[in-house]
Chain A
Amino acid sequence: MSPMLFVDGLLASGAIALALLSLNAREVFTSIVLFVCLGLLATLIWARLGAWDVAIAEAAIGAGLTGALLLAARHRLREPTSRDDTPAARRPHVS
């Protein structure tokens, strides 16, 4: 079944490409974003290989929670005052 083989090739090479790009990204933020994308692609690969339970878990944890965790940590590692919990230290939101 050659069309499916094409899909397989795309998924696998896409995963390799995303891993490579994520590891070589110029900024940490891009690295995180590309990792989240890799998680999404991994979800597709698990689904393709019949690992449906794993696909659901990966969609929830790999693509959702890990990304949020990494972004939250990046925020706290960057902010100038890391411990003083004063409201002034909080940043306004995108509006």
Chain B
Amino acid sequence: MNNSLFGTPLLPLAVVIPLIAAIVSLLLTSPRARSITGIGFATLLLFALAPWLWHTPGADLPTSVRYALGGWGAPLGIDLHLDGFATVLLLSTAALVLVLSIYSAFYFAGQSQAARFWPLWWMLVAGLNGVFLAADAFNVYVLLEIIGLASVALVALAGTREACTAALRYALVGLLGSLCYLLGVALLYRHYGTLDFAQLADLAQADPLTWAALALVTAGLLLKTALLPLHFWLPSAHANAPAPVSAVLSALVVKASFYLIARYWLDILSPAVTDLGSMLLGLLGAVAVIWGCVAAFRAHRLKLLVAYSTVAQLGYLFLLFPLAASGTDTHMALEAVVYFIVAHALAKAAMFLAAGNILRACGHDDIARLRGVAGQQPASLFIFAIAGVSLIGLPPSGGFIAKWLLLNTAISSGQWWWAVVVLCGGLLAALYIFKVLNLAFVRVDLPSGQIPQPVSAPTHAGMTLCAFALAIGAVALGFSAEWLVTLLDAGSSVTTFSQGAGT
């Protein structure tokens, strides 16, 4: 219980600040005050986490930090745990949440949903931060429920029948996934008598019950991460939600459950992981990359296209498991994947915001009817294009570096076939991005006097600016590779539980 380490006394703030924000925005009655406090709390959150932001990485930040909530310590109480992996995700969450909060303040201005949006939004943020800090198997279950139910409620905020149906399906899938996860946790507790990640990492062995638990935990989390055969709920949910919600769902929510899968496979239950299992996950990921791109290409709606692109991009993340299984390259593979997560989060959020702006301005997002839309929405299309550059993986962008790292790892671990998948994925992504751009930049010669589409709601300049900031961030990430990698290195690697165990 080394709570006195630098910065640690503030660790629970990552969860507590969003919870307080949720309560405050629930009790506020004025819509204006609600959005202002929303932005205020987002800024506060970023500054509370700032010690890690400005810290010279590797200097005196310990490889991993634990915080014993309630002062009891691991097996009896619940611990929080922070390492490089968690730091990167926490920071990118805080940054994204700030931008998306500003966007939402404009997006929901004057709408009655705002009263429910802000508390749910903050609950979701609390759940995300909680998952990144979690060090207890059952605590993760509760956090997953927070994330799941808050996401469902946020999707349903759109209020259309499609959105509510998608939300209901999302809710059922979420509950199913949580219960599978909980059964896995029950088996782990039965077998090892502890819920603490570090202790589990210490005790874990390769035996049938651990395999069963790992399978159940993974199945539950895969449902929530939407890896290919279990992705059926994602496109409709992400495409029908309000724009800022779509952005956070694609950018962060699916990553939270991926983060947990990575924790379980590479660290907590790593002795029980077999090469076959890793290969299988990698294979599913590869199929997801190809299939997601094809589905995105064939999508009729812009937001649906972006949602299918998420299915494809999630596939890349699962290449982590076969690449890391080779042993020597675990750290390198993890670096690549973490980089990929951040790059994708920024690019995809920007893309969803741009799509949301187009949807708002045109009143629809039917791709076929978006012919020549660049004439009316140059800014949104520009943002879409920049984010697309990162998604495809063209230099100079975060996506390029992420794919470059992945290719490097694939080659150096002698698994060149994953490199082929990465390249094909990039090529296919280019196809669907350019399909949209091509259509949008076509010059349409309209009969004079006919306004092409009625503008249903004006897009505030601030909304465009937020999307633009995210897109620029996605590109700028390509120039700051050093910084992110060293930040990740502060926690040395993902396997901090098994190293720092024995408390």
A and B touch in the complex (CB under 8 A): no
